[in-house]
Amino acid sequence: MRKKTGRYSGYIRPFSYLLDLTVIILLSVELIPENLQMLPFYLFLVTAWVVVAYNTGFYEVYRYTKVIEIFGKIIKQYFIFIILNFAYVGYFSKFYDTKIILQFVTYAIFIISFTKLFIYYFLRKFRVVFGGNFRRVVIVGNGKTVEQLADFFNENPDYGYKLIRVFDVVENKKTQIESCFDFVLEQKIDEIYCSLSDLTNTDISKFIDFTDNNLKILKFLPDNKEILSRNLIFDYYDYIPIISLRNIPLDETTNKIIKRLFDIAFALVIILGVLSWLIPILAILIKLESKGPIFFRQKRNGLNYHEFECLKFRSMTLNDIADLYQVSKNDPRITRIGRFIRKTSIDELPQFFNVLTGDMSVVGPRPHMVSHTEMYARKIDKFMVRHFIKPGITGLAQTKGFRGEVETDKDIIYRVKYDIFYLENWSLLLDIKIIFLTVYNAIKGEEKAY
C-alpha cells in the first residue's frame, strides 16, 4: 500500500494566523492608549479576530481562489472587526476616540492584506519558476469540459496543478479505467478528475472505491450542475465547475487548531493529574509480576498512513508474536495486572503522550498494528479512508460496541462505517460526547482485547 504524499501548504494557514495576530498585538501596543493595554483587551483582539475570520472565511484561500474573492474577504473582515473594536472599547473602557481605533484597525488590515496578497502571488510565482507546491493530476473522460480543464491546468501553472495525462474512456472503457488505476499508483498521482458524462454509475463507484482505498483525491466534472446532489461540494477553477466527493471538516485550518488545542489541553490534564502518580504505581505492579519494560511500544499507522510508535502500559508477558497476532479473550499472555488494566482501559492512558507529540488525537479512528492495517486494506472496502485524519485513543466505533477483538468481518466493516461517519461529521461536541461515553463504558468495566 502506497503512502499518501500528504497535504499541501499545510503550514501556510497556521503561519498566517500567527503572523496576523502578531501584527495586531504589536500595532495595538504602538497605537492604543496605555489605559487600554491590558490582558483582557489583548484577549479580546485575538478572540475577535479569529472568530470573525472563521465566519468570513478570511483564511479559506485556495490555489484556485480568485483575487476578487480575497478582496471581498478582506472588506468583510475589516468592517466586522472594526465594529467589534468600537463596541468593546465603548462598553468596557468608555473610550470614545474613534479616530485612534479607526487608525489602529485600518493599519492592521492594510499590513495583513499586503502580506496575504504577497504570499498568494509569491506561491503562484514559486510554482511557475521552481515547479514546487504543485499537485499531480489526471483527467478521465473526453469532451468539452475535459478539454477546458486540461487547457486550464496547462495554461495556468501558477495554480499549482500539473496535468500528467488524460485518459480517454470512449473505447475499451474497462481496460482504460484499470490502466488509469495502475498509472495513478505508479506515478504517485494526487488527484483524479472524472467527467460524469463519460462514466456509468458502476464506473463512478469503481473510482470512488479506488480513491478511498488508496488515499487519493477524487473530483468530478459535471455537465449540468442541477442534476447532482446538493450534498456534494462545488468549487470553480476559473469558470469551470468542479465537484468534490467528500467534505472533511478537519481539513479546515480552524477546525484543526480547535481540535489540536483541545487535544493538548485534555492530554496535559490526564498526564499531570493522573499519569504523574499512576505510572510509578503501575510500574511497580507490572515489574513485580513479569520481567520487561513498563511500556509496550507498537508500530501503528496514523495520519496519511504514516507509521508511529503507539504507547501502552504492558499488559502481557514478553513474547515474539505481539506485533503479529491480536490479543484474544482469556489470552494466556495477559498477566493478572494486565487483565485489570485492559478491562478498565487503563493500559491505553500512555497514548496521551502520543497525543501531546501530535501522532494521535484524543478522539479518532482506533489505529491498528501495521500487519493488520495492510491485511484490512486489501480485504475491507474503504478501510484506508480512516487515515485521512489522526487516529484516536477512543472513537465513535468503540462507543457503539465495536471494540476489542475482531472476530468477524462484520466487526471491522462497522468500525470503518462509524469511522467514516466521524470523519465526515466531526465537531468538538461530538468529541466530548465520545469521551463521556468512553469513560462511562470504562467504569462499567467492559473487557477489550485490542
For 133-144, write each residue's pLDDT tens digit: 678 999 998 877
For 305-349, write each residue's pLDDT tens digit: 889 999 999 888 876 655 555 665 666 677 888 888 887 878 889
Of the given ranges (104-108, 191-195, 251-255, 364-368), which has the lowest mean pLDDT?
251-255
Q: Which residues pair with 301 in a beta bridge?
A: 307
Inter-residue long-range contacts of 12-16, CB under 8 Å, 24+ positions, other chains counted: 12/119, 12/123, 13/59, 13/253, 14/253, 14/257, 16/59, 16/115, 16/116, 16/119
Highest mean pLDDT among 35-39, 151-155, 162-166: 162-166
Q: Average pLDDT in the 221-235 region? A: 58
DSSP 147-209: HHHHHHHHH-GGG-EEEEEEE--SSSHHHHHHHHHHHHHHTT--EEEEEGGG--HHHHHHHHH
Tally Cβ neighbours within 10 Å of residue 282.
Answer: 21
Location of C-alpha cell 501548504: 9
- Higher pLDDT among residues 163 and 93, named by residue: 163
Per-residue pLDDT band at 365 (split at 50, 70, 90): very high
For 347-357, write each residue's pLDDT tens digit: 889 999 999 99
- Mean per-residue pLDDT of the chain: 83
Q: Which three cell numbers stand for residue 387?
A: 487515515
Per-residue pLDDT at 446: 53
User: How far is C-alpha 69 from the chain's CA centre?
Assistant: 25
Per-residue pLDDT band at 95 (split at 50, 70, 90): low
Identity of residue 230? R
Whole-model pTM?
0.58
Per-residue pLDDT at 394: 93
Q: Which residues pair with 221 in a beta bridge?
A: 195
The CA distance from 49 to 46, in Å, is 5
The SS3 call for residue 318 is coil
